Amino acid sequence: MVVDQEHTGIMRKKTHPRQLGVPLNRWGRNLISCCPFHSPEETSLFFYDALGYWRYRCLQCGSEGDLVEFVMRSRFNGLEEPAARAEAMEFLGAQEHEQDSDPDEHPWIKEIGGEKSRVLENFVRYCHWAACKSPSSAEFFESRGWSIGQAQLYGLGYYSGDPEPFYSYCMLSGIERHQVSFYLDNLEAYHEPRITIPARNSKGLIHSVYGRSMEDDGVHNPYISYASGPVDIPFNIQPDNDNPIIVEGMFDALTADLAGIPGVVSTMYQDLTMSHLYKLKACGANSVTLILRRDANRRSQEYRIQDYLKMAETQGLKFKSIVLPKDETVDLLVRNYGADHLLNLINETEEDTVHTHRRSMLLQDIKENFDTAMGCPPDESVGYPLNTFPQLSRDIDGIQSGIFYVSSNPFNLKTSLLSSFALDLIETNKEIKLIYIALETPRRQIFDRMVAMLTGLSVLDVRKKNTDEEVNARILEATRALMGYVRDNRLEIWEDQPSFDNKELLATLKEEQREHAGLVVIIDGIDHFKVTDRPDLADIHERRSSVMLDIYKTLDIPLFIGGEIVDENGALIAPRAYLRDSDAIYWLESKDGELALNVNSKRLGNNNFYNGKLSIDPQSNRIQEA
């Protein structure tokens, strides 16, 4: 076993690195010194209190042990082990009064005790021992740039999901099963293997142990808690910290702390709250620096930061905010560029006020906009390409974010065009998810229409078994393809419901975008869309158009809406709101047996982007360029 249980109580109560007589420097939440056990000496020896008492470990030569063993090796190395241990225990015991009288001692050094603390620390020690034996945890730590030795500094471990071996381990320490169940009340709720991370309050007491999934499945918050407890204590909180750095992920905080950056705490992917600020201020904070990963929805993120700024101002705290570049994290930034890079970034960031925050966000957005533009080669589409509409795709530079109003003459062609766009987008762009909202027809008819378009058959043909088995095989293959898009979470087809309105729609789409950044929405039948707010607008079309603008501004996605427009003497006539607010108008017209699609924009300089001939399959009604 990695822990010497026999001497745990003595080491917790009577030993601290200050008693060793070696020069010590603060390094994150740990202490660091030169290692006397290898030559040449390097500042690589860490003293840490992650397992419930102080231990040492050199990250270069691998020397490790408790403080009794440190004294045995450094002062009494020439004696036999029993004699060296006795001398070391006497040496540390003789200096016990020095520890008790040390006025500069931090609160977490003192014995805290308590049954809960004992149970949780036992779980942390067990999980660290398990991590040393588990190849999968070693692979996970290696993928994060961590060694098992570095993980030990913070009490990181591995839990297999089976509680029985831990119960047996606890019996050796005199801990009863009912005590484990009481304090680790979620232990038997999660049975998948996880990395374990102890969370301590500002006095060093473990208040919870978190489990992190080892699978990178795109989950935004992969953490669970094995012990119920307060959820508003910043992870890695420390006393006497006047300028805490607040990050989102636990490994963001741990990697920064390992690099020696003091006072880095994590909200564990929660929104920053007033309670977080209360606790940081109680630990001496007079200013805070918030570092966030870049959200896909920059507008929403900016509003949240403004709320955080106001909270900090009410507490009299100075406030800085930093939004990292796309796909960048504090963890990656420190590992790739070092601690000084992050500290320089913080030092160079101006303190936030409402005005300076708006200005700094604007400067970041302008730079990001330029970097995005310059990062797109001339031969690539900015938006999502269309395979069956190649000239249209080139002319409009792919389907980009915006509101696009689609109509046709005759009117039924509008739905055929939207369905054709939907299938083309899904087939061509593997990274998107498309939501087709059918407000004019039952979604069963949309199923039939898409299967017909995939097979080249008519809608009537796909609604029943055919005498030709080859045709039935084609229908089966197309149905499987449609089901595959749904299973892969790339297509959803919604129909009208009594409770379906704009508030429900926006809330649902926000959730969808959090899970799938590449989101495209098609609303077929805007004239039937329910509107439950904006009573200040009497005209129903104005209200619907205002809702579409709100959805677009909130989500910044491609949004196609199908509705009615008439062509009167060569001019398109429709409710003014749709024509005025749309980024582009897609007008499909059938004349003399030919289909013509015109795409123009009143909002972008009255430009005619595209005017082309289309063809329609006489059986399936699938539309593509001629």
Which domains are present in the chain? 5-106 (3.90.580.10), 112-230 (3.90.980.10), 237-375 (3.40.1360.10), 390-625 (3.40.50.300)
What is the per-residue pLDDT across 10-67, written as a single tens digit (0 to 9) for each?
A: 455 457 888 888 888 888 888 899 998 888 878 889 998 877 778 898 988 888 888 8
Phi, psi of 413 (to 5 degrees): -65, -20
In which band, very low, low, confident or very high, does the pLDDT at 105 lie, cut at 50, 70 and 90? very low
pLDDT over threshold 60, residue 486: yes
212 vs 385: CA distance, rounded Å: 38
CA distances from 571 to 126, 409, 566, 568, 574 (A): 77, 13, 8, 5, 10
pLDDT in the model for residue 539: 86
413 vs 156: CA distance, rounded Å: 61
| Residue 141, amino acid | F
pLDDT in the model for residue 608: 85
536-545 in b/e burial notation, b at 16+ Cβ within 10 A? Answer: ebeeebbbbb
User: What residue ranges in 145-219 does DSSP mark as E strands?
Assistant: 157-159, 194-200, 206-213
In which band, very low, low, confident or very high, does the pLDDT at 470 lie, cut at 50, 70 and 90? very high
Number of neighbours of residue 230 by Cβ within 10 angstroms:
11
442 vs 507: CA distance, rounded Å: 23
386 vs 379: CA distance, rounded Å: 15
In which band, very low, low, confident or very high, does the pLDDT at 342 lie, cut at 50, 70 and 90? very high
- CA torsion sign for 56, 242, 298, 303 is positive
DSSP at 466: -
Helices 443-455 and 469-487: angle between axes, nearest 10 degrees: 120
What is the per-residue pLDDT across 257-285, written as a single tens digit (0 to 9) for each?
A: 999 998 999 998 889 999 999 999 999 99
pLDDT in the model for residue 241: 86
What is the per-residue pLDDT across 231-252, written as a single tens digit (0 to 9) for each?
A: 889 999 988 888 999 999 889 9
In which band, very low, low, confident or very high, does the pLDDT at 103 lie, cut at 50, 70 and 90? very low
Beta partners for residue 56, in sequence order:
47, 65
pLDDT over threshold 70, residue 110: no
For the chain, the C-alpha Rg in angstroms (whole number) is: 32
Before 558, cis peptide (omega within 30)? no
Determine the 3-state secondary structure of 98 from DSSP.
Answer: helix
What is the per-residue pLDDT across 346-374, written as a single tens digit (0 to 9) for each?
A: 998 888 876 677 777 777 778 877 887 88
Is residue 57 within 8 A of residue 19, CB to CB? The reply is no
Q: What angle do CA 556, 559, 565 make, to 5 degrees?
A: 140
In this prediction, what percent of the chain has a pLDDT beyond 90?
42
CA distances from 285 to 16, 288, 312, 352, 536 (A): 26, 7, 11, 16, 46
User: What residue ranges in 314-389 does DSSP mark as E strands?
Assistant: 318-323
pLDDT in the model for residue 21: 80
Q: Which two structure tokens, joined as six digits, stand for 417? A: 């065009």
Please name the residues in contact with 218: beta carbons below 8 A apart, sequence gap of 6 or more. 515
421 vs 111: CA distance, rounded Å: 67
194 vs 182: CA distance, rounded Å: 21
Q: Which of 504, 454, 509, 522 is nearest to 484 (CA)?
A: 454
**Cα 109 to the center of its chain, rounded Å:** 34
Number of neighbours of residue 296 by Cβ within 10 angstroms:
16
pLDDT over threshold 70, residue 100: no
Please name the residues in contact with 535: beta carbons below 8 A apart, sequence gap of 6 or more. none
Phi, psi of 578 (to 5 degrees): -70, -40
Average per-residue pLDDT for the chain: 85
Of 355 and 439, the structure prediction assigns the larger pLDDT to: 439
Pairing of strands 287-292, 30-33: unpaired
What is the per-residue pLDDT across 378-430, written as a single tens digit (0 to 9) for each?
A: 888 889 999 999 999 999 999 999 999 999 989 889 999 999 999 999 999 99
Pairing of strands 433-438, 491-495: parallel
Q: Which two structure tokens, joined as six digits, stand for 533? A: 């707010």
Question: What average pLDDT score do residues 138-157 get?
Answer: 88
The DSSP line for 519-566 is EEEEEE-GGG----S-TT--SHHHHHHHHHHHHHHHH--EEEEE---E
Beta partners for residue 567, in sequence order:
572
pLDDT over threshold 90, residue 95: no
Phi, psi of 160 (to 5 degrees): -75, -15
pTM exceeding the 0.85 threshold for the entire prediction: no
Question: What average pLDDT score do residues 86-91 get?
Answer: 80
In which band, very low, low, confident or very high, does the pLDDT at 195 lie, cut at 50, 70 and 90? very high
